Amino acid sequence: MKKKSFSILLTALLTFSVMLSACSGGNNSSKEKNDPAPTTNGGDTTAVVVEPEAPTEIKIMLPLNTTDTPPDTIKIELEKLTNTKLTYQFFPADSYEEKLNTSFATGSLPQVTYLKNQATFVQMKESIKDGQFWEIGPYLSEFPNLSKLKPEILNNTKVDGKLYSLYIGRPLARQGIIYRKDWADKLGISAPANLDELYEMAKAFTEQDPDGNGQKDTIGVVDRNELYYGAFKTISAWFGTPNTWGEKDGQLAPEFTFSQYVDTMDFFKKLRDGGYMNQDFAATSKTDAVNMFTSGKAGLYIGGSMQDIDTLNKDLIKNYPDAVLDTHSMVAGPDGKFAQWMIPGYNNVALFPKSAVKDEAELKKILGFFDKMMTPEVANLMFWGIEGTHYTVVDGKAKPGDDKELIEREVKGYKDSVIGEAETNGMYQPYNILPGRIHAEELVLENVKVGVADPTAALDSATYVEKGVELQQIITDATYKYIYGQIDKAGFDKEVESWMSRGGAQIIEEYNAAK
């Protein structure tokens, strides 16, 4: 009885206390405004405090296409918008493959691993098949923005019909020529309409003192140690060479078995023998090639992306304020036809190693970050920078600021990692004022009209995955040796035979079986 009486008394006291609190609270407007909103449950009034969700910690590895690692200016804002704590591991693009392979071998890849390009993606395919990376296809439908990624491009990145990666979208055919229009105008030369005129322009830029300094210190073409994204593949397409693989007698065959590939080697050999391009191009890095062009030593920069004209122009006019650049891509082949090789809609992908991402819950948090990246606000931040600092909005488009060095230093490193493209992530299209860049955007659309796709982009070959990079080196070395005059056509054919015997014939068989 005593316990029951005590319980009744305690209940009465508590009720009286609550009533007093309610009365005094009604007279305290300041407290009423600042306190959390109460919730009512069975007559009880309690304050509910919602704890903010802890930031998701993510480590990201990606190639750096600038000289210096960017500061945290963009990263800080990115973390705020996505509720993350990000660690970016930037490594120079020129040596990225080596770092990628070492990190993979030692099991030290971070949660998000960007590759370098399509070639490194091929290198990783066998490891993907072995279950080293997370399959993400089944999860995309849970994320409204990731679900917008283009199915046709996603299909080009699948491995054995499964999706493991997110892609960085790129226009299908951006390549062409960036050239010194001021030199061409001085020498009375028009943009080359065909390959013969391209050769003559390179010759004139070398021999006719286009910079007017009275010295023979210029060359026509500057190229780099990259057959794919350098000048070689772009010019090879103009000769009519298939895009990596082509049809021959109803069967798929590699590009270097076509006569047009040999014609391209002959063209480059003629350029080099004449002194109309940098003699050591096979050992020249992209950075050094760019420096040669922007220091006024060369007049033609071929391949890559015509959209690079903004950066090249920025650095060139520091040295030569009166220099003028323009772009061009419609160069007819020997048959009078136009052709441009096309990428499969992406130039890089991001993978998620199982060694770093421990479970499905962690994977979904990381995919949630990428889903936020594909909102206009975040995509614009990463691609364009901070509005008012790095760009302004003009006519609904992004206009980069005048401080190009600031943009290069603070934004470029992050720009190269944005998933999707403007059509899917909603970021601003560029507001261009440089005539050569405006011309480039027009040409990119024209290129697609004569674009040639790689017929093996969505096909798999186990032997290619295993040996493709090693075998390609045989052809790359043979191509350079031919252009350098170290082997002749018979010597090149012998190297092709070596490619065949060491696994190439099997690759041909597997691709044809898969088509």
Please write the tens of the pLDDT for every residue from 113-156: 999 988 899 888 889 999 999 999 999 999 999 999 999 999 99
As a whole number of Å, the CA-based R_g of the chain is 29
**Range scoring the smallest mean pLDDT among 32-41, 55-64, 358-367, 432-441:** 32-41
Contact assessment for residue 305 and residue 232, using Cβ atoms and an 8 Å cutoff: no
Distances (CA, A) of 386 to 62, 68, 313: 21, 19, 23
Per-residue pLDDT at 160: 87
Residue with tokens 């061009």, as numbered in its chain: 328
User: What CA–CA distance (Å, rounded) separates 511 from 59?
Assistant: 36
Is the pLDDT at 403 greater than 70? The verdict is yes
Helix (H) or strand (E) holding 418: none
Classify residue 396 as exposed, middle or buried by CB count within 10 Å of its CB (0-12, 13-18, 19+). Answer: exposed
User: What CA–CA distance (Å, rounded) separates 41 from 44?
Assistant: 5
Per-residue pLDDT at 46: 57
Mean pLDDT of 12-20: 37
Mean pLDDT of the chain: 91
Which 3-state string (H, E, C) describes 180-194? EHHHHHHHCCCCCCE
Confidence of residue 42 (pLDDT cuts 50, 70, 90): very low
Question: Which residues, in sequence order, are bridge partners of residue 245?
Answer: 254
Contact assessment for residue 492 and residue 262, using Cβ atoms and an 8 Å cutoff: yes
Per-residue pLDDT at 515: 87
Confidence of residue 28 (pLDDT cuts 50, 70, 90): very low
Q: What are phi and psi of 357, to 5 degrees?
A: -95, 110
Residue-wise pLDDT tens digits, 453-464: 999 988 889 899
- Name the residue among 140, 129, 163, 19 with its Cα closest to residue 464: 129
| pLDDT > 70 fraction of the chain, expressed in percent and rounded | 90
Question: Which residues, in sequence order, are bridge partners of residue 247?
Answer: 252
Mapped onto helix, strand or coil, the DSSP state of residue 224 is: coil
- Name the residue among 62, 66, 134 with its Cα closest to residue 103: 62
* Cα first-last separation, the chain: 89
Per-residue pLDDT at 7: 40
Mean pLDDT of 256-270: 98
Confidence of residue 30 (pLDDT cuts 50, 70, 90): very low
Per-residue pLDDT at 6: 34
Structure tokens at 230: 């350098």
User: What CA–CA distance (Å, rounded) separates 278 from 283?
Assistant: 10
Sign of CA dihedral 381, 165, 345, 174: positive
Mean pLDDT of 275-296: 96
Contact assessment for residue 256 and residue 508, using Cβ atoms and an 8 Å cutoff: no
Per-residue pLDDT at 47: 60
Residue-wise pLDDT tens digits, 362-402: 999 999 999 999 999 999 999 999 999 999 999 999 999 99
**Range scoring the smallest mean pLDDT among 357-371, 410-424, 449-463, 478-492:** 449-463
Per-residue pLDDT at 34: 39
Residue-wise pLDDT tens digits, 200-236: 999 999 999 999 999 999 999 999 999 999 999 999 9
User: What CA–CA distance (Å, rounded) separates 158 from 46?
Assistant: 52
User: What CA–CA distance (Å, rounded) separates 288 from 265?
Assistant: 23
User: What CA–CA distance (Å, rounded) separates 98 from 105?
Assistant: 11
Q: Which domains does the chain have, with CATH numbers?
A: 56-171+345-427 (3.40.190.10), 175-341+452-458 (3.40.190.10)
Q: Alpha helices of 177-294 — where are they, by DSSP H?
A: 181-187, 195-207, 231-238, 259-273, 286-294
Contact assessment for residue 467 and residue 501, using Cβ atoms and an 8 Å cutoff: no
Per-residue pLDDT at 45: 52
